[in-house]
Amino acid sequence: MNKYEVVIGLEIHAELRTRTKIFCGCSTEFGGEPNSHCCPVCLGLPGVLPVLNQKAVEFAIMAGLALNCEIAEYSKFDRKNYFYPDLTKAYQVSQFDLPICGRGQVGFDLDGTKYVAGITRVHLEEEAGKSVHSGDNILGSDYSSLDYNRAGIPLIEIVTEPDLRSPAEAKAFLEQLKLTLQYIAVSDCKMQEGSLRCDANVSLRPLHQEELGTKVEIKNLNSFRALERALEYEVARQTEYLDQSKVIVQETRAWDDVRGVTVSMRSKEESHDYRYFPEPDLVPLQVDPNWVGSLASGLPELPLAKKERLQKQFGLSDYEAGFLVSSLEDSQFFEKTVAIYPNPKVVCNWVMGEYTRLRNTTEEEEQLGHLTPEMLAELLSMVEKGAVSGTLAKDVLTEMYLHGKTASAIVEAKGLSQISDLSTLTELVERVLQEHPALVDRFRSGEEKLLGFFVGQIMKETRGKANPGLVNTLLQEKLH
């Protein structure tokens, strides 16, 4: 029985996928030659001024709406001042006391149980550039290089209430948040590319104590797995401290993924004074409630709502619906296919099975485009009609996926049509049985398992094209 309650809050940064940066017209495209997506404004040259990107505001509002937040009619920008080579103006334009979005909440599922976590706020800010150190680590590097392509990309910072009660909950919450932002297409949320970042705050308190324990901030979490592992480690570390009545220091710790530990980075005494003050180069942000209203009504269906609908509308299980919903592409693919070939269970099996396997094993995401819902629907109805066997259909699907040919074209070209002609099959069955009289006798004496051998022989002869159902029936007839 746990003696302590775990209290976790998350601070998430998501890059908004606007075409241009938050205060200038430079491209936000990932990659590219270092310092090729830069201009005087995002480089912070003497004399430049920011101009706010409306799309960034739109995306921030959409994110707030999807997280059930209040949208502030009046908000403003502030300067967060600190020195670092990747920060071109030595201040980051952010929102301090009047953010664009206020309180909200996010529902998520974990192991069949429904949870709700509160959102404290969502605000807009700008990205810094990227440092590349000459060595493995900043310490011991002879020099560092700065790439400012990323400087000025719009970010939203999402702060949660300390409502999460376990590392698993935190991970599930973050997955739901990521999915939600992807569904409304405001962010790619790719942790590996840095378009989604997460810091965690964790503290422990004795059960039934209202007062929160000492909070420790954890940084350098580069994957969902890292988040979970780091939190588990930290909970264990703090538990041990409390058990031994040792004082937990309020500090920031970095997760070391290689060693599997958190390491102290800086303590409260060294924390920055950012000297926040209102950004004088930008006017306060006033949003028209009608605009917000139209954005709200324009929001696509969100993951949780879709999950429930898929279960109700198509009779899918909680697990099946959850699986499909976890990828926007998959759920859309599923529904489009079912619209043409209305057998949801079959479609679901194929999407969850073969289609997912293909997507996971091929490298290029572009290959997704080769398989359309129409193509899959055609294949499935061919299987249903017996034009191709279920087993061969898997190979056909692979071919369709990789080269974009339709099922009928592939089946015809490779002569894979299922043989369902009774006279052909009857002849085949009789021939096979004639070739193995000893085994036939053994079967008739009770070795029913030998049926599989005869089926296999016929499949071998026909290179898998014989209709297995008919073959079975014919064999049963002939053997008895």
Partner 1 sequence: MMELNRCSATKLAALLERGEVSSKDIACSLIQRIADVEPQVRAFITFNKESLLAQAEESDCRRREGRTLSPWDGIPIALKDNISTRGLKTTCGSKMLANYTPPYDATVVERIKQAGLLVMGKTNMDEFAMGSSTENSAFFLTGNPHDYSKVPGGSSGGSAAAVGAREVPWSLGSDTGGSIRQPASFCGVVGLKPTYGLVSRYGLVAFASSLDQIGPIAGNVQDTAALLQIIAGHDQKDSTSVPQNTPQFTTSVRGERDKLIVGIPQEYFGAGLNLEVKEAVLSAVRRLEQQGAIIKEVTLPSTDYAIETYYLIATSEASSNLARYDGVRYGLRVEGSDALSMFKKTRSQGFGPEVKRRIILGTYALSAGYYDAYYKKAQQVRTLIRNEMQSALAEVDVLITPTTPTTAFGFGEKKDPMEMYLSDIYTVNINLAGVPGISVPCGTDSKGLPIGLQIVGNHFGEQTILDVAYTLECLAQGGKVDE
Q: Which residues bind partner 1 (CB under 8 A)?
A: 40, 43-52, 79, 81, 83-85, 88-91, 144, 146, 273, 275-277, 280-283
Q: What angle do CA 266, 272, 276 make, to 5 degrees?
A: 155
Smallest distance from partner 1 to CB 396, Å: 57
Smallest distance from partner 1 to CB 68, Å: 31
Considering the complex, state which of residue 88 and residue 201 has its C-beta at the smaller distance from partner 1. Answer: 88
Q: Give the whole-angstrom CA distance, residue 413 versus residue 410.
A: 5
Considering the complex, state which of residue 72 and residue 87 has its C-beta at the smaller distance from partner 1. Answer: 87
Considering the complex, state which of residue 97 and residue 318 has its C-beta at the smaller distance from partner 1. Answer: 97
Considering the complex, state which of residue 146 and residue 340 has its C-beta at the smaller distance from partner 1. Answer: 146
**HEC string for the chain:** CCCEEEEEEEEEEEECCCCECCCCCCECCCCCCCCCCCCHHHHCCCCCCCCCCHHHHHHHHHHHHHCCCCECCEECCEEEECCCCCCCCCEEEECCCCCCECCEEEEEEECCEEEEEEEEEEEEEECCCEEEECCCCCCCCCCEEEECCCCCCEEEEEEECCCECCHHHHHHHHHHHHHHHHHCCCCCCCCCCCCEEEEEEEEEEECCCCCCCCCEEEEEECCHHHHHHHHHHHHHHHHHHHHCCCCCCCEEEEEECCCCEEEEEEEHHHCCCCCCEECCCCCCEECCHHHHHHHHHCCCCCHHHHHHHHHHHHCCCHHHHHHHHCCHHHHHHHHHHHHHCCCHHHHHHHHHHHHHHHHHHCCCHHHHHHCCHHHHHHHHHHHHHCCCCHHHHHHHHHHHHHHCCCHHHHHHHCCCCCECCHHHHHHHHHHHHHHCHHHHHHHHCCCHHHHHHHHHHHHHHCCCCECHHHHHHHHHHHHC
Q: Give the whole-angstrom CA distance, residue 384 versus residue 341.
A: 10
Smallest distance from partner 1 to CB 137, Å: 13
Considering the complex, state which of residue 17 and residue 89 has its C-beta at the smaller distance from partner 1. Answer: 89
Smallest distance from partner 1 to CB 266, Å: 14
Q: Give the whole-angstrom CA distance, residue 298 versus residue 301.
A: 9
Distance of CA 333 to the CA centre of its chain: 16
Considering the complex, state which of residue 236 and residue 283 has its C-beta at the smaller distance from partner 1. Answer: 283
Smallest distance from partner 1 to CB 341, Å: 53
Considering the complex, state which of residue 141 and residue 362 has its C-beta at the smaller distance from partner 1. Answer: 141
Smallest distance from partner 1 to CB 53, Å: 12
Task: Point out which residues pair with 146 in neighbouring strands.
Answer: 131
Smallest distance from partner 1 to CB 93, Å: 11
Considering the complex, state which of residue 4 and residue 274 has its C-beta at the smaller distance from partner 1. Answer: 274
Smallest distance from partner 1 to CB 279, Å: 8
Smallest distance from partner 1 to CB 308, Å: 44
Task: Point out which residues pair with 221 in neighbouring strands.
Answer: 198
Considering the complex, state which of residue 52 and residue 409 has its C-beta at the smaller distance from partner 1. Answer: 52
What number of residues does the chain have? 480
Considering the complex, state which of residue 39 and residue 459 has its C-beta at the smaller distance from partner 1. Answer: 39
Considering the complex, state which of residue 279 and residue 399 has its C-beta at the smaller distance from partner 1. Answer: 279
Smallest distance from partner 1 to CB 75, Å: 15
Smallest distance from partner 1 to CB 285, Å: 11
Considering the complex, state which of residue 134 and residue 332 has its C-beta at the smaller distance from partner 1. Answer: 134
Q: At what angle do helices 167-183 and 328-340 cross, to 10 degrees?
A: 60
67, 107, 321, 323 from 113: Cα distances, Å: 19, 11, 15, 16
**Closest of 92, 85, 194 to residue 143, by C-alpha:** 85
Smallest distance from partner 1 to CB 84, Å: 7
